[in-house]
Amino acid sequence: MYIMYRLPKILSIILLVFLFSCKTETDSKELDLSHISVDIKINRFEKDLFTLQNSDSIEEGLNELNEKYGLFYHSFTEEIIKVGNYQDPAMPYYLKMFLNDKNVLEAYNFTMDKYASLESVEADFIESFKYAKHYMPEKRQPKLVSFYSHFNYPIVVYDSLLAIPLEKYLGSNCEYYDLLTIPGYKKVSMNQENIITDAMSAWVNEQFNLKPSGTMVLDEMIYYGKLLYALDLLTPFREDSIKIGYSAEHLKWCFDNEPQVWEFLMQKELIFSSDAKNIKKYIGEGPFTPGFPDGSPGKIGHWVGWQIVRKYAENTDLPLQKILLEENSQKILQVSKYKPSK
């Protein structure tokens, strides 16, 4: 439990943002990346697609999409908006219905107003993939694609492609998210600044084929902790609150209550529990963590796992790849010597 003296509301907010949303480059030395060059271009699938809205020869346009986007185009029609296999003769008809749907068009145009240009998003990817080349030189830079799915799909990543649904990042105050009844704890990370952290996390997860190494709460904690630690190195220009998808207030709560959270988890041996209810309680998303005091964020296990992996990295000085590929969660905990003091 923490106590904060009452301040004028606007001053409290300013202090919280300054203190707990500031950049934290955990043990990330100032790197000279000037010698590293990356060529980033986000291919605008959604713009290419919606030019076919009133096309008299949509089949010709779809052939061009097939040539330019290949597997992603197939995935888009079959899995993302589910209008059929790209070889199905009826698919163009259903796709055209999607492109001319009034609600789809309205939200698409709203999205394009915000993302007429992706220059600033590309700048983030340029910086992040410079760090990726430094820490993981053997990994191939993926082809970047943007798309619009009418709120149907998250980031898509496989092999050499990374695709971003722009309508998922319209701003936490976007009226569409209210209409879709998206809860506040999810909306907090639906801003442009979250694109790079979400995308790089998904890319790292796919590149290393990461998954929890066991069935315990600890295994889940370390899995998410490793992804968040990767963001420390690949997106050090983003605040911790953005990396984990917390508000500044929720991040502050974590720091203020870190010893008590850890003591609670250890005393009840919750980190060694394989009970699905406990995994959901401490790992699953939500507005708060059940059983914890007011002000707690959800998915508290992600944050604790992050701190453990940070300490493990600090104590071992291992390269990022070896940290990500270490499968023994209990070894990571033991070597980290994680024990926050009161």
Could you tell me the pLDDT band of residue 332, with boundaries at 50, 70 and 90? Answer: very high
pLDDT at 6: 31
Handedness of CA 198, 199, 200, 202 (dihedral sign): positive
pLDDT at 57: 80
Q: What is the reported pTM?
A: 0.89
Residue 337 and residue 310: Cα distance in Å, rounded?
11
Task: Read off the amino acid at residue 209.
Answer: N
Could you tell me the pLDDT band of residue 273, with boundaries at 50, 70 and 90? Answer: very high
pLDDT of residue 203 exceeding 90: yes
How is residue 158 written in tokens?
């496989």
The pLDDT tens digits of the residues spanning 141-155 come to 999 999 999 999 999
pLDDT of residue 18 exceeding 80: no
Query: What length is written for the chain?
Result: 342
Q: What are the φ and ψ backbone dihedral angles of 190, each rounded to 5 degrees? A: -110, 50
Find, among 116, 324, 291, 105, the residue nearest to 213 by Cα: 324
pLDDT at 54: 81
The count of other CB atoms within 10 Å of the CB of residue 11 is 9
More confident residue, 5 or 124: 124
More confident residue, 15 or 218: 218
Asked if residue 334 lies in contact with residue 285, where contact means CB atoms within 8 angstroms, the answer is no
Per-residue pLDDT, averaged over 19-47, amounts to 74
Please give the share of the chain, as a percent, with pLDDT higher than 70.
92
Could you tell me the pLDDT band of residue 55, with boundaries at 50, 70 and 90? Answer: confident
The pLDDT tens digits of the residues spanning 79-94 come to 999 999 989 999 999 9
The pLDDT tens digits of the residues spanning 92-120 come to 999 999 999 999 999 999 999 999 999 99
Q: CA dist 261 to 32, 120, 172, 215, 283, Å?
A: 38, 38, 28, 21, 14
Strand 161-165 relative to strand 156-158: parallel, antiparallel, unpaired? Answer: antiparallel
Asked if residue 274 lies in contact with residue 216, where contact means CB atoms within 8 angstroms, the answer is yes
Q: Outline where DSSP puts E strands in 33-120.
A: 42-44
pLDDT at 29: 53
